[in-house]
């Protein structure tokens, strides 16, 4: 009896060993496919590594992000090929049929300014949790949230109001015009996108979040301009002025009240908006965290205690006085090599100082105290200069605690209401 029992145990051990070593039985050679059942239980683990992608209209035009779903249950998320956002976020995931649940995405670079993937509203910024649906062709669709980074679907626009040419020097000199409901003539907000003067277009986020101003009765023009890869300074500044002049001269053809025009932008676009506002007869300037004095940015960061290491954010471009900074590319030469005349020529605050005392301009400025791309000292000097020229009551400034560059905190419902209230008091 004991020998028979030992023989039986030996057989069982041999069979088990064969299975463990990948024998030829169907169960050993191929695990149950995900989404099928075995003993009425769904598999939560993938059979192998898998990479899936999602293409959307993102912060810098059309973007493609990807998830690498690994067989060990870990997931990595990034935007391959993006020049400004090189961050990789890692977390875990489970799979139930075509639905993948991701948890705890965190930046793999612990020194990064952006520890959570906050640009996508279908990823919870605090937890790093998300859900996606696999489409079976190597792509995925986000579950919940908006399908783009903007968080705001642009209003519908008539075909003739898209890609309007405002200049004849470049294919880049075009704009889209979004109109509110009702009959005008309408006040107009002209917007310039960011992107370090290097990348981006008129549909990118976060500038597209301001298209929602149409809901409050404003026409909105979103402007494309020549980037540094096409033409150096002052090409983009000339384009910004040309777009404003286009509406000053032809706005009535588009049912625009040309006496009620505001210009605005974020980051690089705010610089362009300021240059236009300080040169042309517009009613208001909207400045979200714009650089105004390029040659002073490094010293400003040092004075604020922001180290060079902290400035290695994908959105910063590193030290301004370097060949590779966005501002140096914009100028076509290292900012540190500019002579005094060139520094004065590009200085938006110096241009603000030259405004006539009777200038009728209202200004709305927002900046974050955690911005490692543009020092908030730039906005504070602009505020101070404009208060001297325009008076305290004509400059609306707020330093937003904890806000980084391009932060969603600027575009919350409360933030947009502040902007709308400002515009209502100026051009409506």
**The pLDDT of residue 361 is above 90:** yes
Instruction: Place 30 in a pLDDT band, splitting at 50, 70 and 90.
Output: very low
C-alpha separations of 279 from 15, 168, 355 in Å: 85, 21, 8
Element containing residue 176 per DSSP (H, E): strand 174-178
* Domain ranges, ordered by start, for the chain: 50-142, 159-424
**What's the CATH fold of domain 159-424?**
Rossmann fold (3.40.50)
**The pLDDT of residue 385 is above 60:** yes
**The pLDDT of residue 94 is above 60:** yes
Instruction: Place 86 in a pLDDT band, splitting at 50, 70 and 90.
Output: confident
Residues 272-299 have pLDDT tens digits of: 999 999 999 999 999 999 999 999 999 9
Instruction: Place 40 in a pLDDT band, splitting at 50, 70 and 90.
Output: very low
Per-residue pLDDT, 157: 63
- Which of 13-22, 167-176, 288-297 is the least confident region? 13-22
**The pLDDT of residue 20 is above 70:** no
**The pLDDT of residue 318 is above 50:** yes
pLDDT above 90 covers a percentage of the chain that reads 67
Per-residue pLDDT, 282: 96
Q: What is the DSSP string of 260-307?
A: EEEEEEETHHHHHHHHHHTTS--SEEEEES----GGGHHHHHHHTT--
**Closest by Cα among 249, 198, 206, 253 to 225:** 198
**Cβ atoms of 35 and 44 closer than 8 Å:** no
Residues 129-164 have pLDDT tens digits of: 999 999 999 999 999 754 444 344 456 566 679 999
This prediction's pTM: 0.73
Per-residue pLDDT, 273: 98
Average predicted confidence (pLDDT) for the chain: 84
Instruction: Place 183 in a pLDDT band, splitting at 50, 70 and 90.
Output: confident
**The pLDDT of residue 1 is above 70:** no
Phi, psi of 360 (to 5 degrees): -105, 80
Instruction: Place 63 in a pLDDT band, splitting at 50, 70 and 90.
Output: confident
Rounded to a whole number of angstroms, the CA Rg of the chain reads 27
**Cβ atoms of 140 and 100 closer than 8 Å:** yes
In CATH terms, is domain 50-142 a member of 1.10.940?
A: no
Q: What angle do CA 312, 225, 202 make, to 5 degrees?
A: 80
How many whole angstroms separate alpha carbon 333 and alpha carbon 346?
Answer: 13
Q: Strand 164-165 and strand 186-192: pairing?
A: unpaired
Per-residue pLDDT, 205: 84
């Amino acid at each position: 009896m004991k020998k028979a029992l030992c023989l039986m145990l030996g057989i069982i051990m041999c069979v088990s060993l064969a299975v463990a070593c990948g024998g030829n039985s169907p169960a050993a050679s191929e695990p149950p496919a995900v989404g099928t059942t075995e003993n009425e239980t769904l598999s939560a683990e993938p059979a192998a590594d898998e990479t899936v992608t999602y293409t959307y209209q993102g912060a810098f035009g059309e973007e493609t992000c990807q998830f690498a779903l690994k067989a060990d249950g870990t997931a990595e998320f990034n935007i391959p090929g993006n020049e400004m956002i090189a961050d990789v976020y890692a977390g875990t995931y489970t799979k139930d049929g075509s639905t993948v649940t991701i948890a705890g995405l965190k930046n793999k670079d612990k020194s990064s300014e952006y520890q959570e993937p906050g640009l996508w509203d279908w990823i919870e910024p605090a937890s790093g949790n998300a859900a996606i649906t696999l489409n079976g062709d190597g792509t995925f669709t986000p579950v919940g949230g908006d399908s783009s980074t903007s968080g705001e679907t642009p209003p519908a626009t008539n075909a003739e109001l898209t890609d309007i040419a405002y200049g004849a020097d470049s294919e880049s000199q075009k704009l889209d015009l979004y109109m509110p409901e009702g009959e005008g003539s309408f006040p107009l907000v002209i917007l310039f996108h960011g992107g370090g003067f290097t990348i981006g277009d008129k549909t990118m986020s976060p500038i597209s979040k301001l298209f929602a101003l149409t809901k409050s009765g404003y026409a909105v023009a979103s402007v494309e301009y020549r980037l540094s890869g096409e033409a150096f300074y002052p090409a983009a500044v000339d384009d910004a002025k040309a777009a404003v002049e286009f509406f000053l001269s032809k706005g009535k053809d588009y049912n625009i009240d040309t006496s009620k025009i505001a210009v605005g932008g974020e980051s690089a676009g705010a610089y362009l908006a300021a240059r236009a506002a300080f040169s042309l007869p517009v009613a208001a300037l909207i400045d979200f965290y714009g650089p105004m004095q390029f040659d002073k940015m490094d010293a400003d960061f040092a004075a604020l205690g922001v180290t060079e290491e902290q400035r290695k954010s994908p959105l910063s471009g590193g030290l301004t006085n370097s060949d590779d900074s966005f501002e140096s590319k914009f100028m076509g030469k290292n900012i540190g090599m500019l002579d005094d005349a060139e520094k004065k020529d590009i200085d938006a605050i110096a241009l603000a100082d030259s405004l006539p005392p009777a200038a009728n301009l209202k200004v709305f400025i927002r900046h974050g105290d955690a911005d490692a791309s543009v020092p908030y000292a730039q906005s504070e000097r602009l505020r101070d200069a404009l208060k001297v020229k325009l008076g305290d009551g004509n400059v609306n400034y707020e330093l937003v605690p904890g806000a980084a560059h391009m932060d969603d905190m600027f575009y919350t419902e409360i933030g947009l209401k502040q902007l709308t209230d400002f515009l209502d008091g100026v051009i409506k």
